[in-house]
Each structure stands twice: as C-alpha cells, then as structure tokens.
C-alpha cells in the first residue's frame, strides 16, 4: 500500500466520523486541504487499570505497546501507523540515494558488481566486490598505505544514509584529524554490502576500514545506520573479525556523538591491532 492510498483511508475515516457525504470529500483536493496525519501515541487499551504507566512506557520505546484492539483486530489508527512504517521501510530499501545528496557529499562514487536492485537483494556476493571499472579507478586514484579508509554504503536504507551521514561523517573525520590519524578520502559505493571493505582494503592497503552502511529497516525506524570496523582484513576475514556499532539515528545514538565515539574506538583499535571479538577480549 502506498502513501497516497494510506492518506485516502485516513480521509475515509474522517468522512465516516464526521458523517460527511462522499461527494464532498472527493471534490476537495488533498493537498489544498492540508491534511496532516498525527503520529502522536495514544493509549488504546479500553478501560486500562493504569493508563499513566502505559503512556509513560510509550514515551521511552518505539515498540507498539498499549495500542489496544478492536475485537480481534488492530484499531484503525494502529493499522494506519503500521502501514505508514511499512511503506517507509520499503522506500528505504528500494529508492536510490539522490544525485543531489551525492553532489553535496562530494566524494568519489564507485559501484559493485550488482547491476540492479534485484541482483543486489538476491545475490549477496554481487554487493561484496567492486566492479572492474571501480577497481581500476581505485587503483589509479587512491593514495595507498593510509591508516584509515572510510566507506559509505547505501546498504538497505538509503533514507538512513541521507539522514545521518552528513553529521556522522563530519564528526568522524574531525575526530580522526584531531588524533593525527591518516586517512584516504572517503568513498561512496552504490549497492554495496559490509564485506566490500575487504576488497577495498586489498587495493588501498590501509590498516583499518570503517563502513557506514544503511541498516535493514524495521517498523520502529527506517533511518538507521551501522558502522562496521575491521583491522587489516583479508580474504579469510569473517564476521567475528568486525566490530559493529549500530542504531545510529536521531532516535538512537546521535550521529555527532557516534562520530566522536567511533574516532576514539578507531584510535584504540590501531593501537591494539585487532578488531571484532579479539578486540572485545582485550577489554576483559
């Protein structure tokens, strides 16, 4: 169900509630009406014993709690909220990062072997390797032997990338500069997955790669980003070799705060020369 259909369902609910004739609603353009659908949380439980506690719990979590029910089904508002979140999650996966955003980011744009969104979603390996043209570009234009290479990947949430990367990248770069850690210019890789960092590292010969990648969207948020860090990746690297910080968005770890934290972590990993599970064990 798309947004337009959802809006029309909301209008239909309003018409029924106010007993407005159908022909009147159809004659009024939606945009000129300035219809605004409220996402304010409400306690939907009928005659709750402790409404205040439910309302307080709703403030501290995006989980769908205390929404009540109508017979065996969701209430209409809960159903519309669910459909809006579902539509936003699908948009985050299916749409591409806008050209305007990439122009403002002003960094090199590379591609993987995934030729289409369908191939990217169905063939995981296609998003883990650069295409031949991007390999050639990186070989010709990158400075080799830096300490850190930053990769930005659209992943499964282009919305998350557009929402968080400007502040996150700025804070991360500033933190690394203050620590005198050398880094190659960040690159954006379209339709890429986390493991593409292994391929990139084999070309630029850096000590550490950090990938800022759009997270798989859920129904709580579709705008989240994760950061994956790996020290000296090779063709034999596995998931346990990577350190991940997830849930970076305005409702989770704030992008500016995450950038500062990641720069501290990178400095520590470069000193200890390990990442992933082995890095965690150095703190025990």
Integer Cα distance of 127 and 162 in angstroms: 20
Instruction: Give the contacts of 65 (CB within 8 A, at least 6 positions apart).
Output: 54, 57, 58
Sheet bearing 208-214, strands edge to edge: 109-111, 183-190, 148-153, 208-214, 225-231, 242-248
Tokens at residue 53, please? 């506690």
Tokens at residue 55, please? 């309302």
Picking from 234, 231, 259, the residue whose alpha carbon sits closest to that of residue 149 is 231
Q: Is 194 within any annotated ligand binding site? A: yes
Instruction: Give the contacts of 29 (CB within 8 A, at least 6 positions apart).
Output: none
Are 199 and 112 contacting, i.e. CB atoms less than 8 angstroms apart? no
Q: If you write DSSP's letter for every residue of 53-84 in order, what string do you get?
A: HHHHHHHH--S--S---BTTB--HHHHHHHHH
Q: Is 173 within any annotated ligand binding site? A: no
Q: If you write DSSP's letter for every residue of 203-272 in order, what string do you get?
A: HH--SEEEEEEEPPP-SS-S--EEEEEEES--TT--GGGEEEEEEESTTSB-HHHHHHHHHHHHHHHHHH
Are 225 and 157 contacting, i.e. CB atoms less than 8 angstroms apart? yes
Annotated binding site: 194, 215
Annotated binding residues for adenosylcob(III)alamin, as ranges?
194, 215
């Amino acid at each position: 169900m798309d947004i337009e259909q959802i809006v029309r369902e909301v209008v239909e609910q309003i018409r029924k509630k106010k007993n407005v004739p159908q022909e009147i609603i159809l004659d009024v353009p939606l945009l000129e009406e300035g219809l605004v659908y409220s996402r304010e949380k409400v306690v939907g439980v009928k005659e709750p014993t402790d409404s205040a506690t439910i309302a307080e719990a709703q403030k501290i979590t995006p989980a769908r709690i205390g929404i009540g029910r109508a017979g065996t089904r969701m209430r209409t508002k809960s159903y519309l909220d669910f459909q809006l979140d579902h539509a936003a999650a699908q948009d985050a996966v299916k749409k591409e990062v806008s050209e305007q955003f990439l122009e403002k980011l002003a960094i090199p744009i590379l591609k993987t072997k995934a030729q289409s969104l369908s191939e990217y979603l169905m063939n995981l390996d296609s998003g883990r390797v650069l295409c031949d043209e991007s390999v050639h570009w990186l070989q010709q234009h990158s400075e080799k032997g830096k300490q850190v290479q930053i990769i930005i990947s659209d992943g499964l949430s282009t919305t998350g990338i557009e929402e968080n990367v400007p502040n996150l990248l700025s804070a991360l770069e500033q933190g690394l500069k203050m620590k005198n850690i050398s880094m190659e210019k960040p690159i954006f890789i379209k339709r890429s997955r986390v493991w593409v960092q292994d391929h990139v590292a084999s070309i630029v010969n850096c000590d550490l790669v950090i990938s800022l990648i759009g997270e798989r969207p859920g129904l709580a948020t579709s705008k989240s980003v994760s950061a994956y860090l790996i020290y000296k990746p090779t063709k034999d690297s596995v998931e346990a070799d990577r350190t991940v910080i997830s849930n970076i968005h305005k409702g989770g770890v704030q992008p500016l705060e995450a950038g500062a934290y990641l720069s501290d972590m990178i400095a520590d990993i470069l000193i200890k020369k390990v990442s992933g599970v082995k890095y965690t064990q150095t703190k025990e």
